[in-house]
Amino acid sequence: MSSIAVDLDEASTMELVDAASAIAAELASRTAPDSAAVCMDLVETLAAAGDLQEAALAGFITVVDGAREVQRWGFPSTRSWLRSRLGMREARAKERLTLARQRHRLPKVAGRWASGELSAGYAATIADATTRLDDHDCGRAETILLGMVDQGFSAGKIASFGKRIREVIAERDGTEQAPEEVARGYERSWIDSTRSLDGGRYIKGWLNAEDAAIFDGTLAPLAKPAGTDDHRDLSERTAAALTSVLSGGHRATRVTVICDLDTLTGGTTPARLTDGTAIPAQQARRIALAAGVSPLLLGGGNTPLYLGHRVRFATGAQRRVLETLYPTCAVLGCEVPGTLCEVDHVHGWALGRSPTDIDQLALTCGWHNRYKHTHPDRLHITKAPDGRYTYRLHPPGTRTLPQPGRPPPWPQAA
């Protein structure tokens, strides 16, 4: 029989977590008592302990989120890390992340939660209700909502009152807006698009039932995870699927990137689109990797050197050959159809060094294409006798296997 002895005053945080984990594992393996009355008492006690555990968990997540540690491990966001590593549903991951990010703005909630006076459910409800308020209004709302907790209101009632608080503040500040679907009616679909300062776009809208069916039928199959290494959430995958459809999938996109020759071959000078929008040099090089993109290369004094000669990139005939070789993305486990993938230069593309030959090309989805060129040390590439390449991804801190025709780098683990 195993035993656990922990000095609570002397034990480190890691030792306490290990002890709690061992106790939880043993408790989960036990058969519940036959007495329903006993089980009711156990549920209440264990639920209270779980609330305290959630308080500690929120503190740990706060540190992880603030340090952006998850990005080093290939996760695009803290929420995606919670979903993939802890197996949380989207709503649960969002709730825990909101709690972690709002703790410092809700000192009364955090204190009562950590002392066992407030449940995790109430804490999450108040954190969600105040997340869009400024610090001054957040403090006042915290006091009001905690008062409702003390009066015995349910979490649902507090959530509704929190929404009303936001509406009153919007009325006070003159920022209230009628719901768009009410103002416009439910019969006509609409989309508003606003350009952001960094060249991106904010999009919001409403689709009626017929248009929503088309939207779901077109994008849902493309918005599925690309594989076990795809840690994007559903909204991120949907945006990528929409971009793929708008760009015509396997058809060439009509995009012109204007950049210096030095930028395309490793420089840092920003490139620009035809409308003058500046884009980082690294993004310009990534765009140049995709088939069908026409770059305008400029030399000294902005003298045009090369006007995007189409044979520089994969031709339609080359795409047809690649699509017969790659029914899906070349990354092992990715199920994005080859017809919706981008042409990838297996060993990288550099002007004058790596021609666009069919035996040096593969098909990868847009997400894995970016990942490959951002983390070249996390892939192992093999080539089959039939000419197909297979990409295998490795997490950070592992050894990079030797690439075809290259000596093994064997970097030390981080």
Structure tokens at 315: 């031709």
pLDDT score recorded for residue 38: 93
Contact call for residues 271 and 281 (beta carbons, < 8 A): yes
- Per the domain annotation, does 8 fall within a domain? yes
- Per the domain annotation, does 61 fall within a domain? yes
What's the domain range around 76? Answer: 39-173
Structure tokens at 251: 């058809």
CA-closest candidate to residue 98, choices 147, 133, 53: 133
At residue 368, φ and ψ (nearest 5 deg) are: -70, -30
Any alpha helices (H) in 115-179, and if so which ranges? 120-130, 135-150, 155-173
For residues 334 and 384, membership in a common domain is answered with yes
For residues 326 and 365, membership in a common domain is answered with yes
For residues 336 and 324, membership in a common domain is answered with yes
For residues 142 and 18, membership in a common domain is answered with no
Structure tokens at 358: 């069919």
For residues 70 and 108, membership in a common domain is answered with yes
Q: Whole-angstrom Cα distance, residue 344 to residue 368?
A: 10
- Per the domain annotation, does 233 fall within a domain? no
For residues 290 and 319, membership in a common domain is answered with no
DSSP, collapsed to helix, strand or coil, labels residue 406 as coil
- Per the domain annotation, does 231 fall within a domain? no
For residues 10 and 102, membership in a common domain is answered with no
Structure tokens at 3: 């035993």
Q: Give residue 296's region: left, alpha or beta (phi > 0; psi -120 to 50).
A: beta
pLDDT in tens, the chain (414 residues): 467 777 888 889 998 999 999 999 999 999 999 999 999 999 999 999 999 999 999 999 999 998 888 888 877 788 888 888 888 888 888 999 999 999 999 999 999 999 999 999 999 999 998 888 888 889 999 999 999 899 988 888 888 888 888 877 877 776 655 454 444 455 678 887 766 556 677 787 888 766 776 787 778 878 888 777 778 888 888 888 888 777 765 444 445 667 777 777 778 888 776 556 677 787 777 666 653 444 444 455 554 443 333 445 666 767 777 887 888 889 888 888 888 888 888 877 654 445 667 777 888 888 888 888 778 788 888 988 877 899 988 766 655 444 444 444 333 333
Q: Whole-angstrom Cα distance, residue 329 to residue 307?
A: 30
- Per the domain annotation, does 232 fall within a domain? no
- Per the domain annotation, does 344 fall within a domain? yes
Kindly give, in sequence order, each residue whose CB lies less than 8 Å from that of residue 141, ignoring residues fewer than 6 positions away: 126, 129, 130, 133, 162, 165
Q: Whole-angstrom Cα distance, residue 230 to residue 208?
A: 31
pLDDT score recorded for residue 44: 93
For residues 102 and 121, membership in a common domain is answered with yes
- Per the domain annotation, does 242 fall within a domain? no
For residues 65 and 104, membership in a common domain is answered with yes
For residues 45 and 149, membership in a common domain is answered with yes
For residues 198 and 318, membership in a common domain is answered with no
- Local structure of residue 191 (DSSP, 8 states): E
Name the domain boundary from 290, 313, 336: 313
At residue 376, φ and ψ (nearest 5 deg) are: -65, -20
- Per the domain annotation, does 383 fall within a domain? yes
Q: Whole-angstrom Cα distance, residue 212 to residue 296?
A: 39
Q: How many domains does the chain have?
A: 5
Name the domain boundary from 109, 142, 173: 173
pLDDT score recorded for residue 197: 53
Name the domain boundary from 291, 313, 335: 313
End-to-end CA distance of the chain, in Å? 38
For residues 127 and 144, membership in a common domain is answered with yes
